[in-house]
Amino acid sequence: MTEILTKVVVCGGACEPKCGKCGEPQIIPLTAEEIAQREADAIAYAEQQAIVEAEAAAKAEAKASAEAKLAKLGLTPDEIAALK
C-alpha cells in the first residue's frame, strides 16, 4: 500500500477571499509537484552534506599531518597543543 504523503497547512488569516478555516490546521495530500520537489531537495541536501563532510575530513587530515610534521621537528605534544 502506497503511503499518502501529507502536509499540515494553517492559514494565518490574511486570505482573500476568506477560506473559512483560518487558524485551523488542515491535513492536505502533497501534489505530484510537491513530491518531486521534496525528492529533489533530499538529493540536493545529501550532496551538500557530502561536500561539507569531505571538507571537514580534509581539514582533519591536514591538521593531523601538520601535527606529525611538527612532532618530527622535535616539538613536544604540549608545545604542539600550545600552537592551537
- The answer to whether 22 and 15 are in contact (CB under 8 A) is yes
Cα–Cα distance measured from residue 26 to residue 52, given in angstroms and rounded to the nearest whole number: 36
Contact 9, 31 (CB under 8 A): no
17-36 residues near other proteins, rule: CB under 8 A? 19, 22-23, 25, 27, 30, 34
State the amino acid at position 43 in one-letter form.
I
Which among 5-13, 63-71, 73-81 is the span making contact with other proteins, rule CB under 8 A? 5-13
Answer yes or no whether residue 62 interacts with other proteins by CB under 8 A: no
What is the amino acid identity at position 49?
Q
Contact between 52 and other proteins (CB under 8 A)?
yes
Q: Can you give the binding site for other proteins, defined by CB under 8 A?
A: 5-15, 19, 22-23, 25, 27, 30, 34, 37-42, 44-45, 48-49, 52, 55-56
